[in-house]
Structure 1
Amino acid sequence: MMPITRIIEILLVEDNPAEVDLARETLELAKIRNNLHVTMDGVQALRFLRREGEYAAMPRPDLVLLDLNLPRKDGREVLREIKGDANLRSIPVVVLTSSSAERDVVKTYSLGANCYITKPVDLQQFSDVVKSIEDFWFVVVKLPPTEAQSSP
């Protein structure tokens, strides 16, 4: 496998500060260079993705890690808007949530989620899940080029 030479941009949409900290620590220990950007609710996430207001200078994420249970606008609504937007729909969205309800799994896949993962309760397992997401999405999968890479 070819090593990744560029910095991977990840948007984590998560309102639980402890889970944000754990994801940040796990990604910092990874061998793949990445920038983790965090938004705490669905409204902020969409503003980040659309580069509006205070997010105007932010990079386009290579991957979105999306919780479902968010304040202001829940993850299902965020997912619907991402996959309904021609400028955003190619960004892979991994639903990373505490819900294991079958209706949530079915609904998010019908909205275009690329992956659905139930967060483990144990901290080591959560760390392992984050690492496996990174390994899969940035080592195994070929992602579409970012805007800068696709320009002539």
Structure 2
Amino acid sequence: MEEQQLTSIFYADDDVDDLDFFKEALLEIDKPVCLFEEGDKLLKSLHNPPPRASVIFLDLNMPVKSGFDVLREIKASANIENVPVVIFTTSSNPADIELCKKMGANLYIRKPASVGALRKAINYVLSIDWENFNPTDKEFLYLG
């Protein structure tokens, strides 16, 4: 019998307040979370489980290594390329949305302003059957 690895939600964002807000939203959702203030730390953890990521929330606007850089590295790495990546950012720039889709992100969410809206977005992400989820351009951008 194969031992089941602990899986967690991974989230990288350089903004500590956004990390705290995300953690608060997860209080009512029974799912472990790993928070990272830098993209490099997220990548290191992804390559050294446990825990194993079941889904990755990724901010785009981070210093040193941007979310675009981290996404590129995830999708180029054979052992983690299939982990769903949800872009979680303040950017509503159509060029950012299109680039993330082309780079292999699975979903794009603008950061909600309330804990309730954030909890709804997280629940939506956790309800997705990622193996069969192939979003259209309209479905790629989560509108809540």
Counterpart-to-counterpart distance in 1, 2:15 and 2:95: 23
Q: 1:44 aligns with which of 35, 41, 44?
A: 41
Q: How does 1:84-103 map to 2 (within 5 A)?
A: 84-103=76-95
* Structure-2 separation of matches of 1:58 and 1:98: 30
1:117 corresponds to 2:109: yes
Q: Which runs of 5+ in 2 are unaligned?
A: 132-144
> 1:128: which partner in 2?
116
- Work out the CA distance in 2 between the residues paired with 1:8 and 1:82: 17
Equivalent position of 1:23 in the other structure: 22
Report the TM-score, using the length of structure 1 for normalisation. Answer: 0.76
TM, length-normalised to structure 2: 0.80
> How many aligned residue pairs are there?
127
Percent of aligned pairs sharing the same letter? 31
Segments of 5+ residues of structure 1 without an aligned counterpart are: 1-5, 52-56, 145-152
Q: Confirm whether residue 106 of structure 1 aligns to residue 103 of structure 2.
A: no
Aligned mates of 2:77, 2:121 — CA distance in 1:
24
Quick one: which of 66, 80, 88 aligns to 1:74? Answer: 66
Q: Deviations for 1:34-65, whole angstroms, at most 9, x for unmatched residues?
A: 111011111111111111xxxxx531110100
| Alignment partner, residue 31 of structure 2 | 34
- CA-based RMSD: 1.9
